[in-house]
Amino acid sequence: MAQKKIFGIVLAGGEGKRLMPLTADRAKPAVPFAGQYRLIDFALSNLVNSGLTKIVVLTQYKSHSLDRHVSETWRLPAMLNSYVASVPAQQRLGKRWFSGSADAIRQSLNLIYDEKPDIVVVVGADHVYRMDFAQMVDSHIESGYGATVAAIRQPLEMSTSFGVIDIDPDNPLHIRDFLEKPENVTGLPDSPGEILASMGNYVFDADALVEAVVRDSENEGSSHDMGGDVIPGFVSRDDCGVYDLSRNEVPGSTPRDRYYWRDVGTLDSFFDAHMDLISTLPVFNLYNDRWPIYSQQLNSPPAKFVRDGRGTTGTMIDSIISLGAVISGAHVERSVLGPWSRIDSGSLVADSILFDRVNVKAGAVVRRAILDKNVIVCEGASIGLDREHDLRRGFTVTESGITVVEKNRVVEA
């Protein structure tokens, strides 16, 4: 990384309405993922692995579990003047909360004034990916632009799902226009079937960022959003570059997962991201020890597969099983089990995601479901077999048929 003072800001105040009921009692970045992780661990791991050692996490919505996770897990060595600090909304500009991601930075400018960085890296807290931000920072410095947007290549037909970056054909590092979910868009000069979609990650010259968020705060018509207001402002001033993720090389990555990035903002995408983890050759590989994803190290015993009282052995196929889980005479297939899960005799869990301390009792069946923490599925009960029955019981069922059960629920037979 170039010898500049770099400061990291993680935007973690999102409410995550589309992930309800998983966000009914927690901030979106605090939602458990892949058993032992939280969503925010991916953003923080990428920053720390990239060499950033001064990072703040801006929180707001139901942030207790998020703040606790950051304080307990992300303890960088203070003797090296390093830290990851959770910073809640402080109402520094009046009796109001953050009104958008740009406003969150505007209300937290004291953090930038205190650190006096040259460069500020701003990232979201709810995406699953690997990225070396040091390479992006170097590209930003070389470009001379005040802002740089990280972008990933996506199929042309998915343009209506993303903020699309229109690049200058004569200068592929320059953003000519920023289009929000356009229906008609031209493909890339070197790949007509692809677009560049914004990843929600940015690098700024510190003074340019401060000036931009202050200017945005004075605009009464603004929604005070980084992607929707601040970045288009840089684009309009011809002061915005793009960093194509295809240029990024992460140690230990494979051709299969090198450019993986998924926005897990909906229940369906959250479910699909888990399914990406469990194949023999996973689309996203958690086992890259050269670019690890860090999280809290649980003081828990190993997972265990045992026979039940009838001598039937617990089995597991294509699944991730977390510490403390016990499978006793049951069958688990294509699923992710959180810490201290209990799957009892004769039960079946397939194509499902179980959070911490879920107990599926004897003879129960769980298919295509997401079960939040402490859910108990009683003997003989079923989840995910009958959409109408699940809806009558008050469960959330997505259009693709994934049943979601809120935390602490007891599901009777």
* H-state helical runs in 25-128: 40-49, 64-73, 101-106, 109-115
DSSP per position, 322-357: -TT-EEES-EEES-EE-TT-EE-TT-EEES-EE-TT
CA-nearest of 145, 154, 161 to 233 is: 145
Measured CA to CA, the distance from residue 312 to residue 305 in angstroms comes to 11
Is residue 163 part of an annotated ligand binding site?
Answer: yes
Measured CA to CA, the distance from residue 57 to residue 85 in angstroms comes to 6
Rg (CA), the chain: 22
CA-nearest of 293, 291, 1 to 134 is: 1
Contacts of 218 (CB under 8 A, 6+ apart): none
Q: For residue 405, what are the β-bridge partners?
A: 371
**3-state DSSP call for residue 21?**
coil
DSSP per position, 366-388: EESEEE-TT-EE-TT-EESS-HH
Measured CA to CA, the distance from residue 407 to residue 237 in angstroms comes to 48
> CA geometry: angle at 274 spanning 45 and 407, to 5°?
95
Is residue 180 part of an annotated ligand binding site?
Answer: yes
CA-nearest of 200, 226, 208 to 145 is: 208
Is residue 198 part of an annotated ligand binding site?
Answer: yes
Structure tokens that stand for 274 in this block:
């888990």
Residue numbering of the annotated binding site for alpha-D-glucose 1-phosphate:
163, 180-181, 198
Specify binding-site residues: 163, 180-181, 198
